[in-house]
Structure 1
Amino acid sequence: MDKKRLAAAAAKGDEEAFLQLMKCERQQMLRIAFAYLRNETDALEAIQETVCRAWHKRRALREPQYMSTWLIRILINVCSDELKRRKRSKAMSEYVDGGAYIAADETAHSDERLDVAKALAFLEKPYRDVILLKYYEDMTITDIARVMERPDGTVRTWLNKALMQLRKQMGKLGGRERQNG
């Protein structure tokens, strides 16, 4: 059965179709959750919460063909909620400005990846979301607009601004490295 039929059946309450659809979407959801939370355990918990929320709200989905984008939107909200919770409950020393948790032993395979992660943490939320969806998930502008419930033009503007801010931030981080190195 194709994804559209699975989504339509799942929206009507077919548990088996819903489970099959979740299996199809699991890898993408894991990548997105990991990009936000930087921890596999937390990412898996976010996916579990997303699946629960999606199951309970499945009948509210107006257009089942957009179930994938709907799931991503829910997942982003779950991840954002977790980041807010972390920010409230943990010492600020464990965080990079902007609330994105970065643990060197979990994500750092190179200094460059750490610099990009740190620079991303400085971006405002919509800009960070656009970058993650575009470059980590290879989504089109149209798909991102659908997920974020914004016009294509807004997403293009956010992407442009995000890239400019990232370049500026990477320059600052690079400057510090050269001064310290």
Structure 2
Amino acid sequence: MTKEQFALHTEEIKYKLYRTALLYLGNEALALDAVDESIYKALCSLKKLRQPEYFDTWIIRILINECYKELKRQKRRGRFDEFPETAEEAFDRLPLKEAIAKLPKDLKEVIILRYFSGYTLVEAAEILQIPQGTAASRQRRALSLLRLELEEEVSK
């Protein structure tokens, strides 16, 4: 993949990258920084990409790692809000926000990639570097936990 192809393809998926980072970090500025840093790291490591058809998976993995680094930095500083008000509009106005925040990290990853970033189950499994069956199990488990949490919310 050439640098020109890299630039064109990154431009095509930049909104998907931003939306994923925003859901992980919950802050527009941090999400933009994470996307910028991920694109920079991907460009620097472009020669390491053996199969260009896996570019999306590769760059999303870099982005997720960058988001986790930022989350760790925020926790160390003690200034960590999981999902502040700047996150996705549709996501913010639902009790779903709190329900997803309560999910374990591994289940939350699958839900964010599948339902908020628009990846298929196969793509989510590749990005998270887990078997497809594991991704499906995590998705089912997360959805059942969310269903329970939201039913509890409605019955209050």
The TM-score with structure 2 as length reference comes to 0.88
- CA distance in 2 between partners of 1:148 and 1:108 (Å): 22
Find runs of 4+ consecutive structure 1 residues off by over 6 angstroms. Answer: none
Structure 2 residue corresponding to 1:102, chosen from 55, 73, 83: 83
Kindly provide the amino acid, as one letter, of the partner of residue 112 in structure 2.
Answer: L
- CA distance in 2 between partners of 1:173 and 1:77 (Å): 32
The equivalent residue for 1:115 is 95
The within-5 A match list for 1:94-173 is 95=81, 101-104=82-85, 106-107=86-87, 113-173=93-153
The equivalent residue for 1:89 is 77
**Could you report, residue by residue, the CA deviation over 1:59-109 in whole angstroms, capped at 9, with x for unpaired residues?**
221211100111111111111111121111125xx54xxxxx2223x2485
- CA distance in 2 between partners of 1:136 and 1:81 (Å): 21
The equivalent residue for 2:30 is 42
Kindly provide the amino acid, as one letter, of the partner of residue 140 in structure 1.
Answer: T
Q: Once the two structures are aligned, what percentage of the paired residues are identical?
A: 33
Higher relative contact order (CA 8 A, sep 6+): 2
Kindly provide the amino acid, as one letter, of the partner of residue 63 in structure 2.
Answer: L
The within-5 A match list for 1:6-85 is 9=1, 14-85=2-73
- Larger Cα-atom Rg: 1
On the 8 A contact 2:58/2:127 being kept in 1, the answer is: yes
How far off its partner does 1:172 sit?
4.1
CA gap 1:116/1:24 in 2 versus in 1, 3 angstroms: same
SS in 2 for 1:23: helix
| Structure 1 unaligned blocks of 5 or more | 1-8, 96-100
How far off its partner does 1:150 sit?
1.2
RMSD, aligned α-carbons: 2.1
SS in 2 for 1:150: coil
Aligned length: 156
**Could you report, residue by residue, the CA deviation over 1:5-33 in whole angstroms, capped at 9, with x for unpaired residues?**
xxxx2xxxx32222112111111101111
- CA distance in 2 between partners of 1:21 and 1:111 (Å): 27
SS in 1 for 2:100: helix
On the 8 A contact 1:107/1:114 being kept in 2, the answer is: no
On the 8 A contact 1:133/1:139 being kept in 2, the answer is: yes
On the 8 A contact 1:130/1:159 being kept in 2, the answer is: yes
